Amino acid sequence: MSISRADFGTLPDGRKAELFTLTSPAGLVAKITNYGGRVTSIQTPDRMGNLGEITLGYDRLEPYLTDPYYLGATIGRYANRIGGAAFDLDGTTHNLLQNEGDTHLHGGDGFERKLWTAEIEHETLILRYASPNGEGGYPGNVDVTLHISWDTDVDLRIDYKASTNAPCPINLTNHTYFNLSHDIDVRGHTAIVNAREYLLTNEDSIPTGERKDVKNSALDLRGGAIIGHRFNSCALPEGYDHSYVIDGEGLRDAATVSTPDTGRSVTLLTTQPGLQFYTGYGLKGGAGRDGEIWPEFAGLCLEGQHHPDSPNHDHFPNTIIRPGETYTQTQIYRFKIS
């Protein structure tokens, strides 16, 4: 594997961002900037051997400064939503930044707009960010480290670690949008999600606390389905933006997405209990690299994570990290051709 680094632009305060290009032994390419810990590009071959772009992103720093879609971003301190933008911990109520109505989304003043420090060590890109006490409304100073590398020819691996000097919820993920097709529309992709259950949510997309069986519903993707064929269901008026409870424990296959026109597929392996599967209905006219315009459903996200609003649901898997403890997580994107 090889890693190169280059300038990626200047922030308004004069600091420099960098772009790192990670090339696997098989020639797959991932580009990552230390601004927001963002994956800006992944290129993989199609069945004809032609290397091509499979993610949504920008080719310059400037659009990322105002990007509303979290393109390729490292999300934290807490991925997804916290209802009422507040949680109680050890008898204290912590009020968080409201950035989606009354809801707290993706950490509020989140990691996606921070400049991370970067170094290369043993064919691994290491990104670090120190989140200060009070950022986004969260307690404690939190130190976060990402190790990013091609674990094999076709496995792009992200290992997350975090520690804190005060009790705090931590829930990190990556928010890359994939499109494996030659068509700028993912509704023709086939999706498999290895989950027997999903989380019921209210009108603000906040979990009610109840888990529901996917059986006999449009959300049952265990056997695979063409995404767009499910959109006519009354349960999916805008497509998928659902939190699944992934079967099993440890590092395992959470979901696979593929498309017949290129033969490409991507599988998400994660150690996290949940998956947010989002099919990009909020991409309405965004402009990406080379002037490309993104309509609705131009990309989809496979976000391995803890369940939304977990700090407010005692029966959900724990997300509270205390001093002396270490948050760890592994996420792998595995790329194949059929």
Q: Residue 123's pLDDT is what?
A: 94
Nearest residue to 135 via CA among 111, 166, 152, 158: 111
The CA distance from 137 to 135, in Å, is 5
Strands (E), 66-123: 74-75, 81-82, 86-89, 92-95, 104-105, 117-121
| Whether the predicted pLDDT of 336 surpasses 80 | yes
Q: Residue 28's pLDDT is what?
A: 98
| Whether the predicted pLDDT of 285 surpasses 80 | no
Instruction: Considering only the C-alpha atoms of the chain, give the largest distance between any 2 of them, rounded to a whole number of Å.
Output: 60
Mean pLDDT to the nearest integer, 240-263 = 97
pLDDT tens-place string over residues 12-65:
999 999 999 999 999 999 999 999 999 999 999 999 999 999 999 999 999 999
The CA distance from 1 to 285, in Å, is 36
pLDDT tens-place string over residues 132-186:
999 999 999 999 999 999 999 999 999 999 999 999 999 999 999 999 999 999 9
Q: Residue 235's pLDDT is what?
A: 79
Q: How far is CA 114 from the centre of its chain?
A: 16
Catalytic residue among 104, 175, 189, 306: 175
Q: CA distances (Å), 263 to each of 97, 136, 193, 226, in order?
A: 42, 42, 19, 14
C-alpha Rg value of the chain to the nearest Å = 19
285 φψ region: left (φ > 0), alpha (ψ -120 to 50), beta (else) = left
- How many Cβ atoms are within 10 Å of 98's Cβ, its own excluded? 16
Q: Residue 312's pLDDT is what?
A: 98
What's the mean per-residue pLDDT of the chain?
96
Residue 77, classed as helix, strand or coil, is coil
CB 11 within 8 A of CB 2: no
Mean pLDDT to the nearest integer, 117-132 = 97
> Per DSSP, what are the bridge partners of residue 7?
18
Confidence category of residue 304, pLDDT binned at 50, 70, 90: very high
pLDDT tens-place string over residues 3-14:
999 999 999 999
Amino acid code (one letter) for 13: D
Q: CA distances (Å), 246 to each of 194, 277, 318, in order?
A: 6, 11, 16
Catalytic residue among 303, 306, 307, 313: 303
Sheet holding 327-337, edge to edge: 117-121, 124-131, 142-150, 155-164, 327-337, 264-270, 252-258, 190-193, 225-226
Mean pLDDT to the nearest integer, 318-331 = 98
Q: State the DSSP string of 271-332.
A: SSSEEEEE--TT--SEE-GGGPEE-TTS-EEEEEEPPTTGGG-TTSPP-EE-TT--EEEEEE
Instruction: Specify whether 325 is catalytic.
Output: no
Instruction: Specify whether 303 is catalytic.
Output: yes
What is the model's pTM? Answer: 0.97
Q: How large a percentage of the chain has pLDDT more than 90?
A: 94
> Per DSSP, what are the bridge partners of residue 256?
192, 267
The CA distance from 19 to 115, in Å, is 12
Separation of first and last alpha carbons in the chain:
24
Say how many residues make up the chain: 338
CATH node for 2-337? 2.70.98.10
As to burial, measured by CB atoms within 10 angstroms (0-12 exposed, 13-18 middle, 19+ buried), residue 302 is buried
Confidence category of residue 281, pLDDT binned at 50, 70, 90: very high
Q: Residue 1's pLDDT is what?
A: 84
Q: Residue 174's pLDDT is what?
A: 98
Confidence category of residue 311, pLDDT binned at 50, 70, 90: very high
Q: Residue 289's pLDDT is what?
A: 87
pLDDT tens-place string over residues 183-225:
999 999 999 999 999 999 999 999 999 999 999 999 999 999 9
Mean pLDDT to the nearest integer, 252-267 = 98
